Amino acid sequence: MQLTVWTYEGPPHIGAMRVATAMRGLHYVLHAPQGDTYADLLFTMIERRDARPPVTYTTFQARDLGSDTAAIFKDAVAAAYERFRPEAMIVGASCTAELIQDDPGGLAKALALPIPVIPLDLPAYQKKENWGASETFYRLVRTLCGPKAETVGKAGRRPSCNILGPTALGFRHRDDLVEIRTLLDALGVDVNVVAPLGASPADLGRLGEADFNVVLYPEIARAAGQHLQKTFGQPMVETVPIGVAATIRFVEEVAAVAGVDPAPVLSGAPSRLPWYSRSVDSTYLTGKRVFVFGDATHALAAAQIAATELGFKVVGLGSYAREFAREIRAEAALHGIEATITDDYLEVEAAIQASAAELVLGTQMERHIAKRLGLPCAVISAPIHVQDFPARHSPQMGFEGANVLFDTWVHPLMMGLEEHLLGMFREDSEFHADAAPSHLGPGHQPLPPPSAGEGGPRVSEGRERGAPVPERSPPLPPAPQAPSPAEGGGSSGSAHSTWAPDAEKELKKIPFFVRGKARANTERFARERALPLITVETLYDAKAHFGR
């Protein structure tokens, strides 16, 4: 038994719903108790779909358990077929129906419907949402992908590919697809089938006609892509084109597989990110400490972009996708850190605090954790809330995706010039010494971290004493370890040393926005050396010690 307040992923039948809802002409009959229809509103409210998901639930109740729930299931399948006339159906059980052990596959087969009926076995007590989506898509592809297409001569026609992976409730899947289609078109590659999003069962029957497959989201489509590779010998491009470098790599790989020239697509300046990142206003981004958490696809991409395209320092990397733990650990090792592989958001919260991050890139959950800790944050991965299914075009993939990422990640940080000016004029009389150097506004008070009771950093303490809290990275040496309790100007760390008056005066000459850190570093320096009195000398000794 696991104690859970928040889950990053739903149960596996939600994954199956994401595939069914993405497709056309497919219907899902789910053996499930009354109440499981709550899942509909993820699609109708969060993604704002204008139709109910194509799912019929048996919604059995306690009084049905004594009788024949199997008959209820059969009736539901028959009625759904009559009403919706789908091209194919998937049938399966939710967690409760799994326990009552009716056999959806066998029961549906007995009806001998004139369409393919694909049974799903989704172990609800072992697996989760993304696995459910992957398994469902794999089963559909395996059943429906048809016989091997006749090899048509390549001469005189454009190469073609399938795009695999976009689903309903996917983070920016709609817009990623637009970007990828544009790239492929510019390369001279035709798109044969996109699946599951927008595909019908008949479309899945045409998968074999393509020359190769593009797997956009490995957690959903890798299994299906591998099956097609085995069955049709279709090569698979699995590079996830998030970020400028990854997109270039993606274009080159597609071009190599398709036998076309990538140069026209890559020429010029297809993304603004490189120039924006090189412009002097971005200098202040250098070494910003960033914590990255999300699904495997987006967390891996974000870590690479953060380090190599924005010049951040990745101080934390993790994922809730245990299936991809090895890849995440390998990437973390490149940044010299240990990966956080967990689906417990309290562990993520602790890891964020310990990392002393200045920017958090994560899911909806990390957005809330960051809000609590008073840290800037941007969302890079599901689970997400309604605002991350925006009306405007906002892909993550491709060159336009890179532009979106630059804006989205930098926005919560203050623009460099703004930060500099605020700092310069901070001690002018117009500026209140207590105002936070942040867009969050003067009224913003970060909450004390929830589990900081035992000596964790309590950000609000310094605030009460009127000392500025360095919420942004000052251009001074960042503390290499976790922040000391004294960060923010509190006196709790100076129990063993006192400040000499002239040292205190000297400290005041240091710009306010690095003063908190200077004080903390100096006090730690003094404490470690058991110096009873902090002098001007100590101050500069500490500066030299902690300096780069």
Partner 1 sequence: MNAHAPLTAFENERGLEIRQERGQRAVFCGLTGIVWLHRKIQDAFFLVVGSRTCAHLIQSAAGVMIFAEPRFATAIMDERDLAGLADMNDELDAVVGRLVARRPEIKLLFLVGSCPSEVIKLDLSRAAQRLSRSLAPDVRVLSYSGSGIETTFTQGEDACLASLVPEMPAEAANAETSLLVVGALADVVEDQFARIFSEMGIGPVRFLPARRAGAMPPVGENTRYLLAQPFLADTARALEERGATRLAAPFPLGSEGTTGWLKAAADAFGVAAGRFEAATAPGLRRAEQALAPYRAMLTQRRVFFFPDSQLEIPLARFLSREMGAKLVEVGTPYLHRGHLDREMALLPRGTRIVEGQSLDDQMDRCRQARPDLTVCGLGLANPLEAEGLATKWSIELLFTPIQGYDQAGDLAELFARPLVRRTRLEV
* Options 3-11, 235-243, 289-297, 410-418: segment touching partner 1 (CB under 8 A): 3-11
Residue from 17, 27, 57, 194 touching partner 1 (CB under 8 A): that is 57
**369, 349 Cβ separation under 8 angstroms:** yes
* Options 88-96, 168-176, 183-191, 243-251: segment touching partner 1 (CB under 8 A): 88-96
Residue 3 marked ligand-binding: no
Helices (H), 492-548: 501-509, 512-528, 536-546
Residue from 59, 143, 229, 231 touching partner 1 (CB under 8 A): that is 59
Residue from 24, 37, 329, 541 touching partner 1 (CB under 8 A): that is 37
Does residue number 48 form part of the binding site for partner 1 (CB under 8 A)?
Answer: yes
Does residue number 110 form part of the binding site for partner 1 (CB under 8 A)?
Answer: no
Residue 48 vs 148, nearer CB to partner 1: 48
Residue from 7, 160, 308, 491 touching partner 1 (CB under 8 A): that is 7
Does residue number 24 form part of the binding site for partner 1 (CB under 8 A)?
Answer: no
Q: For the chain, first and last CA: distance in Å?
A: 48
**33, 112 Cβ separation under 8 angstroms:** no
CB of 47 to partner 1, least distance (A): 10
Residue from 20, 36, 200, 409 touching partner 1 (CB under 8 A): that is 36
Long-range Cβ contact pairs of 339-345 (< 8 A, separation 24 or more): 340/293, 340/316, 342/318, 343/7, 343/8, 343/9, 343/128, 344/4, 345/5, 345/6, 345/8, 345/369
Residue from 61, 283, 286, 492 touching partner 1 (CB under 8 A): that is 61
CB of 445 to partner 1, least distance (A): 16
**482, 354 Cβ separation under 8 angstroms:** yes
12-22 and 129-144 helices, crossing angle to 10°: 50
Count of residues that bind partner 1 according to CB under 8 A? 60
Residue 367 vs 517, nearer CB to partner 1: 367
**110, 169 Cβ separation under 8 angstroms:** no
Using CB under 8 A as the binding rule, the residues of this chain from 424 to 453 that contact partner 1 are: 450
Does residue number 54 form part of the binding site for partner 1 (CB under 8 A)?
Answer: no
Residue from 16, 18, 25, 42 touching partner 1 (CB under 8 A): that is 42
Q: Which two tokens stand for residue 370?
A: 């960051």
Least Cα distance to 526 among 509, 507, 545 occurs for: 545
Residues in the chain: 548
CB of 43 to partner 1, least distance (A): 8
Residue from 76, 88, 348, 380 touching partner 1 (CB under 8 A): that is 76
Residue 52 vs 278, nearer CB to partner 1: 52
Does residue number 64 form part of the binding site for partner 1 (CB under 8 A)?
Answer: yes
CB of 64 to partner 1, least distance (A): 5
* Options 68-76, 433-441, 496-504, 529-537: segment touching partner 1 (CB under 8 A): 68-76
Does residue number 6 form part of the binding site for partner 1 (CB under 8 A)?
Answer: yes
Residue 124 vs 215, nearer CB to partner 1: 124
129-144 and 218-232 helices, crossing angle to 10°: 20
Residue 30 vs 315, nearer CB to partner 1: 30
Residue 121 marked ligand-binding: no
Does residue number 326 form part of the binding site for partner 1 (CB under 8 A)?
Answer: no
Q: Which two tokens stand for residue 539?
A: 């101050």
Cα(66)–Cα(74) distance, integer angstroms? 16
- Contact flags string 116-155 toward partner 1, x per CB under 8 A: -------xxxx-x---------------------------
SS (H, E, C) 200-266: CHHHHCCHHHCCEEEECCHHHHHHHHHHHHHHHCCCEECCCCECHHHHHHHHHHHHHHHCCCCHHHH
Does residue number 502 form part of the binding site for partner 1 (CB under 8 A)?
Answer: no
Which phi and psi angles does 107 have, rounded to 5°? -65, -40
Task: For residue 383, say if its preceding peptide bond is cis, omega within 30 degrees of 0.
Answer: yes
> What is the bridge-based pairing of β-strands 313-319 and 377-379?
unpaired
Buried b (16+ CB within 10 A) or exposed e, 116-153: bbbbbebebeebbbbbbbbbbbbbbbebbbeeeeeeee
Residue 416 marked ligand-binding: yes
CB of 8 to partner 1, least distance (A): 10
Asked about 281 being catalytic, the answer comes back as yes
**60, 69 Cβ separation under 8 angstroms:** yes
**90, 136 Cβ separation under 8 angstroms:** yes
Select which of 64, 103, 281, 407 is catalytic: 281
**306, 292 Cβ separation under 8 angstroms:** yes
CB of 397 to partner 1, least distance (A): 27
Give the three-class secondary structure for 29.
strand
* Options 62-70, 406-414, 484-492, 518-526: segment touching partner 1 (CB under 8 A): 62-70
Task: For residue 501, say if its preceding peptide bond is cis, omega within 30 degrees of 0.
Answer: no
CB of 117 to partner 1, least distance (A): 16
Does residue number 58 form part of the binding site for partner 1 (CB under 8 A)?
Answer: yes
- Contact flags string 524-543 toward partner 1, x per CB under 8 A: --------------------
Cα(92)–Cα(12) distance, integer angstroms? 11
Using CB under 8 A as the binding rule, the residues of this chain from 357 to 396 that contact partner 1 are: 365, 368, 372, 385
CB of 53 to partner 1, least distance (A): 8
Annotated binding site: 36, 416-417
Q: Residue numbers of the site for partner 1 (CB under 8 A)?
A: 1-7, 9-11, 13-14, 33-42, 44-45, 48-52, 56-62, 64-65, 71-72, 75-76, 79-80, 83, 94-96, 99-100, 123-126, 128, 365, 368, 372, 385, 450
Annotated binding site for substrate: 416-417
Q: Which residues are catalytic?
A: 281
Annotated binding site for [4Fe-4S] cluster: 36
